Amino acid sequence: MRLDKLAEQVGDRITMEWKSFLLRVEPKTGDRDKFIEYTKSWLNPAEQEPDAAFTVWASDEGQPPSSVPAQVAHKAVRAFAPDRADDYHHRLLTAYFTENRNIGDSDVLLDLAEDIGIDRDGLATVARENHDAFAKMVIDEHNSAVQSNVTAVPTVVFEHAFAVPGAQPVETYERLIERIEEKKGPAGEA
């Protein structure tokens, strides 16, 4: 999507690191009709993001009660198969926003990993043995984001200080990168 396109265009001029930000912090079991109505709001970003596919929830699967399990699973993939972590991140987004899968369900999370060639049993073992540590990482990253006044997904933080909330055109990010580089000068010094 936009950030993938940005990384492709600017190459090694940037390092992208995904951090956890919980959209559903506390487990919620809500009214299915209200949840389906909520997913209609996904059509707005779908209009602005031609490379993303958003589908109003039409699945028989229940809604994820929390985003914690998917975030923890991503940490497990990053530890177990770091070269597949970005692929897993994309697989999670597609599963939730396009396929309407319950990414709060551990079997679904393992299925998604298996879809992209990650050993299911190996990942399950790493996830189980390190669950508490991965969950702490997720919560710590979320709390750090909240303390930094992050309120939107995505929020892109440049130089660990300058936050740009919401999905922006790739050109906006490119201009910001150019400004930062100009400010640093040729030797990379600020």
Domain residue extents for the chain: 1-17+150-185, 22-142
pLDDT of residue 28: 63
> Locate tokens 């209200």: which residue?
34
Q: Tell me which amino acid residue 188 is.
A: G
This prediction has a pTM of 0.81
Of the candidates 112, 51, 121, 119, which has an alpha carbon nearest to the alpha carbon of residue 87? 112
Structure tokens at 100: 């309407």
Tell which CATH architecture fits domain 22-142.
3-Layer(aba) Sandwich (3.40)
Beta bridge partners of 165: 155
Question: Nearest to residue 100, comparing CAs of 43, 52, 55, 153?
Answer: 55
pLDDT at 31: 77
| Strand 162-165 relative to strand 155-158, pairing | antiparallel
Predicted local distance difference test score (pLDDT) of residue 112: 98
Instruction: Report d(CA 109, CA 120) in Å as an integer.
Output: 10
C-alpha 32/C-alpha 175 separation (Å) is 42
The residue that leads in pLDDT, 27 or 59, is 59
- Residue 189 dihedral angles phi and psi, to the nearest 5°: -105, 140
Q: How many CA atoms lie within 13 A of 57 on its CB side?
A: 18
CA–CA distance, 185 with 174 (Å, rounded to integer)? 16
pLDDT at 115 over 70: yes
Instruction: Report how far residue 125's alpha carbon sits from residue 80's, in angstroms, rounded to the nearest whole number.
Output: 10
Q: Which tens digit of pLDDT belongs to each residue from 28-58? A: 666 788 888 888 877 776 666 667 778 888 8
Please write the tens of the pLDDT for every residue from 56-89. Answer: 888 888 888 888 999 999 999 999 999 999 999 9
**Which has the closest alpha carbon to 90: 70, 63, 61, 68?**
70
Q: What is the pLDDT of residue 26?
A: 60
Q: What is the mean pLDDT of residues 23-30?
A: 63
pLDDT > 60? residue 141: yes
DSSP H helices in the chain: 2-10, 32-39, 43-48, 68-80, 85-97, 106-115, 120-129, 131-147, 170-184
